[in-house]
């Protein structure tokens, strides 16, 4: 699995832009966890990354918006420091609700 950080900046000045914002967010939610307003931590396989990138490119408008995908260095616990409210859940730990 590859750990990614995805951030986006979608122009919301027009109704079409707001629609794009919702759609971009939706793609990110489907693949990962929202850690901040427009910041997602995503853990995917190579194949899923290709699909995810494709979907993001489809939803965004390259002249108005910006989407950035960063690869996180592993292990995550060592290289990600989070402070304050943190709803992150390790998806490889036992999931018992």
Q: Which residues bind another protein (CB under 8 A)?
A: 1, 26, 29-33, 43-45, 48, 89, 91-97
Nearer of residues 14 and 18 to another protein, judged by Cβ: 18
Nearer of residues 44 and 64 to another protein, judged by Cβ: 44
Instruction: Determine the Cα angle at 90 with ends 65 and 72, to 5°.
Output: 45
**Cα Rg, the chain, nearest whole Å:** 14
Beta strand pairing status for 2-9 and 39-44? antiparallel
> Rounded to an integer, what is the distance from CA 52 to the centroid of its chain?
9
In the bound complex, what is the minimum distance in angstroms from residue 31's beta carbon to another protein?
6
Nearer of residues 78 and 89 to another protein, judged by Cβ: 89
In the bound complex, what is the minimum distance in angstroms from residue 63's beta carbon to another protein?
27
Q: Is 90 marked as binding a ligand?
A: no
Instruction: Tell me how far apart the alpha carbons of residues 78 and 48 are, in angstroms, rounded to a whole number.
Output: 24
């Amino acid at each position: 699995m590859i750990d990614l950080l995805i951030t986006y900046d979608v122009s919301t000045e027009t109704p079409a832009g707001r629609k794009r914002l919702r759609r971009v967010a939706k793609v990110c939610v489907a693949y990962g966890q929202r850690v901040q307003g427009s910041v997602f931590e995503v853990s995917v396989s190579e194949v899923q990354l290709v699909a995810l990138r494709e979907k993001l490119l489809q939803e965004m408008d390259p002249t108005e918006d910006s989407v950035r995908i960063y690869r996180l260095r592993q292990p995550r616990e060592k290289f990600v420091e989070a402070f304050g409210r943190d709803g992150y859940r390790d998806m490889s730990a036992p999931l018992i609700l």
